[in-house]
Structure 1
Amino acid sequence: MAPTHVALSIVLAVVVAFVAPAAAPLVVAVALVGGLAPDLDMVVGVHRRTLHQLEGFTIGAVAAGLVALTTRDVTAVLAATGFGSAALHCFADLAGGSSEPQPWEATTDRGVYLRSGGGWVAPRRWAAYDGSPGDLALAALLSIPGFLAFGDGVRFVLVASLAVGVGYATVRKRVPQLSGRTPAMYAALVAFVSLLVRRR
């Protein structure tokens, strides 16, 4: 679910800010944008296919990371963070459940579409489905590093995101259509990012 992607993106931001402190002022915002952007294909396109470009994001993260390591350029660090966060999003989707209206029924093997393989890769279902109790627990666990490493702005984003996650997990099986298109949730997450940027 989106709050899990938020927390995972901020974990990456913790690592990048530690390794490249010069990028710290923007690294959280870039990580959040990269970590949430792939799911915009719930609004336009085919979910987990149109914007879930695992291979492209991984290549972009490695290439930008190599440039960042050799030049120490902040722009390259931020690019590597954005691409890396988007790639982590795709990997997290593969670790979770399938992309379908009622993923707890596990009737499909649609994890993420890989262009290099020419088809869908089956999900691992380590978190049974988005919004499952295991998914919520993972989001809470992944929130700890960001809560400890960053200040009040990031903490607010994490707490607000977890609150959304609790609500989502509570009603998840009553509203299976949430697997289809969720522009309202993304509008709320964009508001969180905007608030974070304003507080800096």
Structure 2
Amino acid sequence: MMATTHALWGMALALPVLATAPEYAPAAFLAGLVGGFAPDADMYTGHRKTLHFPVYASIAVIPAAVLAVLVPTMGTIALAVGLAAAALHAVSDVLGGGIELRPWQGTSERAVYSHYHGRWLRPRRVVRYDGAPEDLALAGVVAVPLLAIGNEVVTAVVIALLAVSSVYVVLRKSLAGVAARLAGLLPAPVREHVPARYLET
């Protein structure tokens, strides 16, 4: 799924905080946004493996959530929401396509790496590929409650993420070709450090 979709769903995890402890909601929304984005920081270094922990991150959420309930502070709540967003990101990547440059072709059986199992989990392709129309639909669905709360900052962030998502969906398939062409133009010493999927023809 798109990083923006993950970020929006991460922000949605802050909605219970808004309902129960609104004073901590700004930190929770920020933590959800950052946590939703964070795993994709490995985009160019072992994508969906280096920073994706579908099992371990999910386990880590449990003590973090308990701590946030027992000792509710801005820090503990932000930690719990941020970890939950990162875990949700890693787990939900299994529902998408593989890690190849053109995942709509369905040539990769690698969705996300599970360090617990010591192997790649296969893609379920419920969302066929990042930037697919159903990916945008998921972003739109979760945007509704976020926009409904009426917070100006959250509204601005959500609208910006939806705008970026919409443009990406329109350009997604052509961007794969552009990326491959640009990677092919790089000098050989630089190209050695480019992820193999960008060198696909």
Q: Which residue of 2 aligns with 1:108?
A: 108
The verdict on how the C-alpha distance between 1:117 and 1:177 changes in structure 2, with shifts beyond 3 A counting, is: farther
Could you list the per-position Cα deviations for residues 70-126 of structure 1 after superposition, in whole angstroms to 9, with x for gaps in the alignment? 223332111111100000111221111111100000111111100111100012211
CA distance in structure 2 between the partners assigned to 1:138 and 1:162 by the alignment: 11
- Aligned AA for 1:105? Q
- Aligned AA for 1:121? L
- Aligned AA for 1:49? K
Runs of 5+ consecutive residues of structure 1 not aligned to the other structure: 181-200
RMSD (Å), alpha carbons: 1.8
Map 1:40-119 onto structure 2 (within 5 A).
40-43=41-44, 45-119=45-119
Q: Which residue of 2 aligns with 1:175?
A: 175
Q: Is the 8 A contact 1:100 1:179 kept in 2?
A: no
- Of 85-94 and 64-73, deviating more is 64-73
Question: What SS does the corresponding residue of 1:53 show, helix, strand or coil?
Answer: coil
Q: Which residue of 2 aligns with 1:139?
A: 139
Higher helix fraction: Structure 1 or Structure 2? 1
Q: Is the 8 A contact 2:4 2:37 kept in 1?
A: no
Question: What SS does the corresponding residue of 2:113 show, helix, strand or coil?
Answer: strand
Runs of 5+ consecutive residues of structure 2 not aligned to the other structure: 181-201
Question: What SS does the corresponding residue of 1:109 show, helix, strand or coil?
Answer: coil
Considering only CA atoms, is the larger Rg found in Structure 1 or Structure 2? 2
Higher relative contact order structure (alpha carbons within 8 Å, sequence separation ≥ 6): 1
Question: What SS does the corresponding residue of 1:175 show, helix, strand or coil?
Answer: helix
Q: Which residue of 2 aligns with 1:197?
A: none
Q: Which residue of 2 aligns with 1:33?
A: 34
Aligned length: 179
CA distance in structure 2 between the partners assigned to 1:16 and 1:90 by the alignment: 22
Could you list the per-position Cα deviations for residues 3-54 of structure 1 after superposition, in whole angstroms to 9, with x for gaps in the alignment? 21121112111123223323112111111111100000013x2100000022
- Aligned AA for 2:38? A
CA distance in structure 1 between the partners assigned to 2:132 and 2:105 by the alignment: 12
Deviation at residue 133 of structure 1 after TM alignment: 0.8
Runs of 4+ in 1 over 3 A off after TM superposition: 177-180
Deviation at residue 67 of structure 1 after TM alignment: 1.1
Q: Is the 8 A contact 1:67 1:73 kept in 2?
A: no
Q: Which residue of 2 aligns with 1:5?
A: 6
Question: What SS does the corresponding residue of 1:64 show, helix, strand or coil?
Answer: helix
